[in-house]
């Protein structure tokens, strides 16, 4: 499953650790939620980047005390149609100002890319290699957005006011 | 009418390009049906019994003549020369081919139209009162707020994969013509005691298998908080709405399970954290959107011009039509004209390309180029000068659009049912047609007065049968078409769900049952001034039930 | 163990496998040559669960041409033809039971 970051396919630096079993030293790790919560005190003191794999049916508010120690949060799309993690991502970015990486995992297909980016994700475990290969191209499909998202782009309502929209061609639609 | 700018047009064009690519990938096999289905649904493309169906959004039911002409063109070029106007102010084409869909969509995009979010688990087309902007009883034009919401939720990154579809409605009149309480989320613009205009917020309405009416969770919301409140409601629903069972996924179930109060508490907590953020609406933003609604340059005219009175005296048919289909306008000397898409023996809501083209011409000539679509599946010309009414009537009459049955027993709301829909248990349209034939005598219809019949071909309730004065629901029994009859539903200010009157009746008996119910009403009413629904409220359903089942 | 699909298939009379064509949505039937046809008379008829299962499995595998394949009842006529086994299938084969809006001038 190719990993896309910064618009390119990259090597995954993170190692996923199991619910039990040893935790490797120094390498970046992603820990399952249960274990993370149970062992958070020691995990945050460990040397090496720390990530957590967070299910989409748990409130992200539970992570609040640890956000400063987390380099990555992996959120899950068990199905393409199950969009709970979009809300989790926006809450993490906008309400809790999480500045680490947000990774989309699970059924991640090309037609979600722009939603994911706009919701604040910046790391993508893409299901199909063919989709990963056209990541940048797919993102270029849309150049205008109506609403503010977690990606800081100017939405249409503001662009119009700032005169950032192309000249207002009055034409009856 | 709302004038699209380059941003609106760019987005729609980019959407067509994306869909063209998705269709190509489906046809080449790169996308499986499982992967493609949610994508086509997000563009309003369903699969029905015979073909694909394309549903086009008409935001808040307003159409320009240019758009209507383009719909006629699409009907001709890519479909079978007609379209079906729905209870959600949309239009559907029932014979479209997947291979040709990108071209059809490109043609629609040329006039700013699209099928975005007319299906799928996102925020659907925002509906309002079809008389918005012209009704004498509204406090302001609700379409400005509907447009602000529409823009905000279009391709929303967070709310495109919710547990289930989500329908939002905005009203601003003292009489609810938009059926606010059957929506997932509804806003009623009104003035508080201090004279400030704001929204009553209602949530959790919906029909289908488990019908609920929306409950008020906030009596007054300031205008500047509209978008942040929408966001908070959607975010709460997106996270906590059920996803394990499609029949329990609508927000109405979440609201019901949590209780409206607990649900409101969740929403308010979320709202508090975002209300002062980027979604707070400032006056400049609202003014910018409002400035792109252009209103007609009305002439200064008096109400009741002499030529109208003379024409009414001279022609009884015209007079009857004026009484039935013409409503007061907020501007003196003008009128709102409702066009019946319910001719005797016709398919409720269908219009041919010929009718659409001719109507576009009429709108240009007599209604400042504007047409409206109402949830009763009728159309309207919203700005007709009263002195032009005779000419408009003659033209509409020639087009078969002047049946004077608005609000009467033959003005039936009906879903497509088993003649088109793959989810149907039973047919809806021929039932509607038979009822219109039984009641073809207009004097008899007028005597029966206001009486709404709603028909759905299955429990999904696309024909709103729960809120019909007489509701007819198709069910299946041992492979035969049967119909359950409910009485006493209402969609407007006093929204209430109808009550089932007894065992389902077979296809061939439905029109007889409706005749029995009508006859029972004529016997029971205190006089011609007591409406069907009022008699029913006074007597309860029992005497009606007796009448219907005594005979069988 | 039988797959859920196999377990579900119970056949009480002759059946065909039908679907909609991907490109235009037209109603199609699986024929005996592993192809699709728009003619019910040319459809392969199964009278036992094994044959029905084989037909639906083939049909489901053909995601490129057909969408939403399922097993539908059919009646055999004395002349050797087929009749749709219920109203839904009749409407799929012959179109809506109502008159379509008149389409003058096109
Ligand atoms: C291919 C044709 C159609 C399909 C497959 C379809 C499907 C559905 C489904 C599954 C629901 C129930 C959703 C739920 O409760 O979660 C529904 C509701 C609804 N449909 Fe349709 N529909 C179709 C055509 C129409 C048409 C033609 C109209 C208008 C005449 C319409 C108007 C509505 C409305 C207003 C509801 C909302 C009822 C509610 O609030 O639950 N639909 N539809
Ligand atoms: S109510 Fe049922 S039969 Fe009618 S259109 Fe909706 S899904 Fe189809």
Q: What is the C-alpha radius of gyration for chain B, rounded to an integer number of angstroms?
A: 23
Q: List the structure tokens of A61.
A: 């508010």
Ramachandran region, residue C58 (left: φ > 0; alpha: ψ -120 to 50; beta: rest) = alpha
The answer as to whether A170 is a domain residue is no
Distances (CA, A) of A14 to A2, A72, A74, B511: 13, 9, 11, 69
- Per-residue pLDDT at C3 exceeds 50: no
Q: Provide the pLDDT for residue A147.
A: 84
Q: Provide the pLDDT for residue A167.
A: 33
Displacement of CA B301 from its chain's centroid (Å): 32
- Cβ <8 Å between B50 and C64: no
Residues of B whose CB is below 8 A from C102: 352
Q: Provide the pLDDT for residue A158.
A: 66
B37 — phi, psi (to 5°)? -55, -50
Percentage of residues in chain B having pLDDT higher than 90: 90
The stretch B100-124 carries a mean pLDDT of: 94
Give the single-character DSSP code of B223: G
Contact B133, B377 (CB under 8 A): no
- Cβ <8 Å between B97 and C87: no
Q: Please give the mean pLDDT across all residues of chain C.
A: 88
**Could you tell me the pLDDT band of residue A146, with boundaries at 50, 70 and 90?**
confident
User: Which CATH number covers residue A139?
Assistant: 3.20.20.70
Q: Provide the pLDDT for residue C10.
A: 75
Q: Provide the pLDDT for residue B13.
A: 92
Q: List the structure tokens of B228.
A: 């942040």
The closest of B421, B419, B401 to B411, measured between CA atoms, is B401
Q: Provide the pLDDT for residue C98.
A: 93
**Could you tell me the pLDDT band of residue A163, with boundaries at 50, 70 and 90?**
low
- Per-residue pLDDT at C51 exceeds 50: yes
Give the ligand whose atoms come closest to the C-alpha of residue B476: 2
Q: Is B25 helix (H, G, I), strand (E, B) or coil?
A: helix
Displacement of CA B36 from its chain's centroid (Å): 28
For A95, which of B66, B239, B273 is closest by C-beta distance?
A: B273
Cβ contacts of B274 within 8 Å, gap of 6 or more: A94, A95, B228, B231, B232
Q: Provide the pLDDT for residue C2.
A: 42
Q: Is B415 in the pocket of ligand 2 (CB under 6 A)?
A: yes
Handedness of CA B145, B148, B154, B158 (dihedral sign): negative
**Mutation probe of ligand 1 site: the residue of B255, B460, B471 with most atoms within 8 A of C-beta:** B460
Q: What is the extent of the structural domain holding A16? A: 3-143
Per-residue pLDDT of B467-495, as tens digits, reads 999 999 999 999 899 999 999 999 887 88
Ligand 2 atom closest to Cα of residue B457: 3
Contact C93, C27 (CB under 8 A): yes
The Cα–Cα gap between B345 and B429 comes to 9
The answer as to whether C3 is a domain residue is no
| Contact pairs from chain B to chain C, CB under 8 Å | 84
- Cβ <8 Å between A146 and B155: yes
Q: What is the C-alpha radius of gyration for chain C, rounded to an integer number of angstroms?
A: 15
Q: Which residues of A81-96 are buried (b: 16+ CB within 10 A; e: fewer)?
A: bbbbbbbbbbbbbbbe
Ligand 1 atom closest to Cα of residue B184: 40
Neighbours of chain C (3+ CB pairs under 8 A): B
Residues of C whose CB is below 8 A from B35: none
The tally of domains found in chain A comes to 1
Distances (CA, A) of A31 to A3, A70, A171: 18, 11, 55
Q: Is B53 in the pocket of ligand 1 (CB under 6 A)?
A: yes
- Per-residue pLDDT at B435 exceeds 50: yes
Q: List the structure tokens of C95.
A: 């179109």
Q: What is the C-alpha radius of gyration for chain A, rounded to an integer number of angstroms?
A: 18
| Contacts with C, B 99-128, CB within 8 Å | 99
**Could you tell me the pLDDT band of residue C105, with boundaries at 50, 70 and 90?**
very low
The Cα–Cα gap between A86 and B489 comes to 38
Nearest CA in chain B to A108: B35
Q: Provide the pLDDT for residue B492.
A: 80
Give the count of beta carbons closer than 10 Å to the beta carbon of residue A69.
15
Distances (CA, A) of A42 to A23, A24, A50, A60, A64: 11, 13, 11, 20, 17
Per-residue pLDDT of B153-172, as tens digits, reads 999 999 999 999 999 999 99
The stretch C76-82 carries a mean pLDDT of: 88
Q: List the structure tokens of B257.
A: 């399970």
The Cα–Cα gap between B258 and B261 comes to 8
Per-residue pLDDT of B367-416, as tens digits, reads 999 999 998 999 999 999 999 999 999 999 999 999 999 999 999 999 99
Q: Provide the pLDDT for residue A152.
A: 75
Q: List the structure tokens of B160.
A: 């495109």
Q: Provide the pLDDT for residue A169.
A: 31
The answer as to whether C4 is a domain residue is no
Strand order in the sheet with B82-85: B45-47, B52-56, B91-96, B82-85, B350-352
The Cα–Cα gap between B337 and B381 comes to 5
**Could you tell me the pLDDT band of residue A21, with boundaries at 50, 70 and 90?**
confident
Cβ contacts of B91 within 8 Å, gap of 6 or more: B55, B56, B58, B71, B83, B84, B85, B373
**Could you tell me the pLDDT band of residue C7, with boundaries at 50, 70 and 90?**
low
The stretch B100-104 carries a mean pLDDT of: 96
Q: Provide the pLDDT for residue C104.
A: 35
Q: What are the structural domains, with CATH classification, of chain B?
A: 6-109 (3.90.480.20), 134-291 (3.30.413.10), 306-399 (3.90.480.20), 413-550 (3.30.413.10)
Beta bridge partners, B85, equal: B91
Q: What is the extent of the structural domain holding C50? A: 10-103
Q: Is B416 in the pocket of ligand 1 (CB under 6 A)?
A: yes
Q: Provide the pLDDT for residue B35.
A: 86
The tally of domains found in chain C comes to 1
The stretch A89-112 carries a mean pLDDT of: 95
Q: How many residues does chain B have?
A: 552
Ramachandran region, residue B485 (left: φ > 0; alpha: ψ -120 to 50; beta: rest) = beta
Is B5 near chain C, with CB under 8 Å?
no
Contact B180, B232 (CB under 8 A): no
Nearest CA in chain B to C73: B479
| Contacts with A, B 158-187, CB within 8 Å | 158-162
Contact C16, C46 (CB under 8 A): yes
The answer as to whether A31 is a domain residue is yes
Q: List the structure tokens of B262.
A: 């607990």
Q: Please give the mean pLDDT across all residues of chain B.
A: 95
Beta bridge partners, A31, equal: A52
The stretch B521-548 carries a mean pLDDT of: 96
Q: Provide the pLDDT for residue A47.
A: 92
**Could you tell me the pLDDT band of residue A118, with boundaries at 50, 70 and 90?**
very high
The answer as to whether A26 is a domain residue is yes
CA A82 / ligand 1 centre spacing (Å): 21
Per-residue pLDDT of A42-69, as tens digits, reads 999 999 999 999 999 999 999 999 999 9
Strand order in the sheet with A50-54: A8-10, A3-5, A123-125, A101-106, A72-77, A50-54, A29-32, A15-16
The answer as to whether A36 is a domain residue is yes
The stretch A25-29 carries a mean pLDDT of: 93
Beta bridge partners, C19, equal: C28
Distance from the Cα of A168 to chain B's closest Cα (Å) equals: 6
Cβ contacts of B291 within 8 Å, gap of 6 or more: none
Q: Provide the pLDDT for residue B398.
A: 95
The stretch A133-151 carries a mean pLDDT of: 87
The answer as to whether A173 is a domain residue is no
The answer as to whether C2 is a domain residue is no
**Could you tell me the pLDDT band of residue A161, with boundaries at 50, 70 and 90?**
low
Beta bridge partners, C73, equal: C15
Q: List the structure tokens of C89.
A: 């299938």
Q: Is B190 helix (H, G, I), strand (E, B) or coil?
A: strand
Give the single-character DSSP code of A147: S
Question: Best mutation site among B48, B77, B81 for testing chain C: the one with the most C CBs within 10 Å?
Answer: B81
Q: List the structure tokens of B244.
A: 């394990």
**Could you tell me the pLDDT band of residue A166, with boundaries at 50, 70 and 90?**
very low
Percentage of residues in chain B having pLDDT higher than 70: 100
Listing DSSP states for B301-315 in one string gives --SS-HHHHHHHHH-
Per-residue pLDDT of B272-299, as tens digits, reads 999 999 999 999 989 999 998 989 999 9
Q: Which residues of B41-72 are buried (b: 16+ CB within 10 A; e: fewer)?
A: bbbbbbbbbbbbbbbbbbbbbbbbbbbbbbbb
Distance from the Cα of A49 to chain B's closest Cα (Å) equals: 28
Q: Provide the pLDDT for residue C1.
A: 38
CA B32 / ligand 1 centre spacing (Å): 25
Q: Are strands B453-456 and B470-477 parallel, antiparallel or unpaired?
A: parallel
The Cα–Cα gap between B213 and B449 comes to 26
């Amino acid at each position: 499953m190719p990993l896309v970051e910064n618009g390119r396919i990259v090597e995954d630096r993170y190692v996923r650790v199991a619910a039990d079993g040893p935790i490797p030293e120094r390498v970046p790790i992603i820990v399952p939620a249960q274990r993370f919560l149970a062992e958070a005190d020691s995990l945050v003191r460990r040397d090496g980047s720390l990530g957590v794999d967070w299910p989409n049916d748990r409130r992200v508010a539970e992570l609040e005390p640890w956000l400063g120690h987390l380099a990555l949060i992996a959120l899950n799309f068990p199905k393409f149609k199950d969009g709970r993690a979009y809300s989790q991502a926006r809450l993490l970015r906008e309400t809790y100002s999480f500045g680490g990486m947000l990774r989309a995992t699970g059924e991640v297909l090309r037609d979600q890319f722009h939603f994911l980016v706009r919701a604040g994700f910046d790391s993508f475990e893409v299901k199909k290699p063919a989709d990963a290969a056209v990541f940048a191209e797919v993102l270029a499909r849309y150049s205008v957005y109506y609403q503010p998202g977690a990606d800081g782009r100017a939405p249409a309502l503001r662009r119009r006011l700032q005169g950032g929209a192309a000249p207002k061609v009055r034409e009856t639609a | 009418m709302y004038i699209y700018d380059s941003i609106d047009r760019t987005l729609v064009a980019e959407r067509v390009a994306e869909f063209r690519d998705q269709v190509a990938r489906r046809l080449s096999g790169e996308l499986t049906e499982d992967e493609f289905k949610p994508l086509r649904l997000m563009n309003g493309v369903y699969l029905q019994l015979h073909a694909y169906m394309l549903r086009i959004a008409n935001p808040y039911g307003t159409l320009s003549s240019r758009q209507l002409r383009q719909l006629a063109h699409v009907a001709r070029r890519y479909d079978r020369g007609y379209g079906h106007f729905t209870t959600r102010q949309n239009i559907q084409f029932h014979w479209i081919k997947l291979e040709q869909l990108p071209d059809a969509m490109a043609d629609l995009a040329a006039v700013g139209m699209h099928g975005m979010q007319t299906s799928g688990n996102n925020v659907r087309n925002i509906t309002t009162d079809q008389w918005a902007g012209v009704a004498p009883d509204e406090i302001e034009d609700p379409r400005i707020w509907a447009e602000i919401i529409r823009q905000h939720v279009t391709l929303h990154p967070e709310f495109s994969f919710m547990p289930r579809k989500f329908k939002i409605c905005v009203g601003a009149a003292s009489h609810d013509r938009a059926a606010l309480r059957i929506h997932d989320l509804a806003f009623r613009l009104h003035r508080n005691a201090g004279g400030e205009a704001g929204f009553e917020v209602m949530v959790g309405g919906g029909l289908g298998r488990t019908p609920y009416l929306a409950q008020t969770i906030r009596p007054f919301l300031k205008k500047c908080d509209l978008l942040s409140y929408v966001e908070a409601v959607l975010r709460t629903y997106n996270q906590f709405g059920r996803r394990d069972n499609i029949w329990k996924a609508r927000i109405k179930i979440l609201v019901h399970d949590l209780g409206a109060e607990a649900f409101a508490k969740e929403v308010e907590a979320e709202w508090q954290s975002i209300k002062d953020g980027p979604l707070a609406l400032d006056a400049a933003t609202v003014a910018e959107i409002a400035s792109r609604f252009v209103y007609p340059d009305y002439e200064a005219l008096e109400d009741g011009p002499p030529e109208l009175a003379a024409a009414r005296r001279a022609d009884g048919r015209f007079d009857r039509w004026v009484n039935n289909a013409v409503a007061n306008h907020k501007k003196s000397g003008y009128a709102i004209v409702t066009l019946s898409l319910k001719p005797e023996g016709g398919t409720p809501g269908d219009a041919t390309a010929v009718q659409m083209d001719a109507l576009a011409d009429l709108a240009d000539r007599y209604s400042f180029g504007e047409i409206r679509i109402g949830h009763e599946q009728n159309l309207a010309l919203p700005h007709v000068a009263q002195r032009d009414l005779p000419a408009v009537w003659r033209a509409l009459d020639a087009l078969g659009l002047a049946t004077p049955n608005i609000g009467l027993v033959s003005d039936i709301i009906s879903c497509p049912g088993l003649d088109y829909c793959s989810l149907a248990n039973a047919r809806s349209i021929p039932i509607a047609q038979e009822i219109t034939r039984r009641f073809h005598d207009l004097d008899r219809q007028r005597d029966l007065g206001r009486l709404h019949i709603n028909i759905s071909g299955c429990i999904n309730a696309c024909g709103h049968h729960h809120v019909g004065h007489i509701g007819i629901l198709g069910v299946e029994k041992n492979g035969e078409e049967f119909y359950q009859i409910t009485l006493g539903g209402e969609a407007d200010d006093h929204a209430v769900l109808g009550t089932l009157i007894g065992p389902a009746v077979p296809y061939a008996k439905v029109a007889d049952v409706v005749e029995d119910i009508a006859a029972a009403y004529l016997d029971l009413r205190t006089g011609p001034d007591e409406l069907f629904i009022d008699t029913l409220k006074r007597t309860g359903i029992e005497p009606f039930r007796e009448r219907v089942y005594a005979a069988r | 163990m039988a797959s859920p699909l196999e377990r579900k298939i119970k056949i009480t009379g002759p059946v065909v496998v039908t679907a909609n064509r991907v490109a235009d949505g037209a109603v199609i039937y699986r024929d005996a040559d592993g192809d699709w046809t728009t003619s019910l008379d040319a459809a392969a008829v199964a009278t036992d669960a094994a044959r029905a299962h084989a037909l639906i499995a083939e049909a489901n595998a053909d995601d490129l041409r057909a969408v939403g394949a399922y097993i539908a009842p059919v009646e055999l006529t004395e002349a050797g033809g087929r009749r749709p086994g219920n109203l839904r299938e009749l409407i799929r084969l012959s179109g809506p039971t109502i008159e379509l809006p008149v389409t003058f001038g096109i």
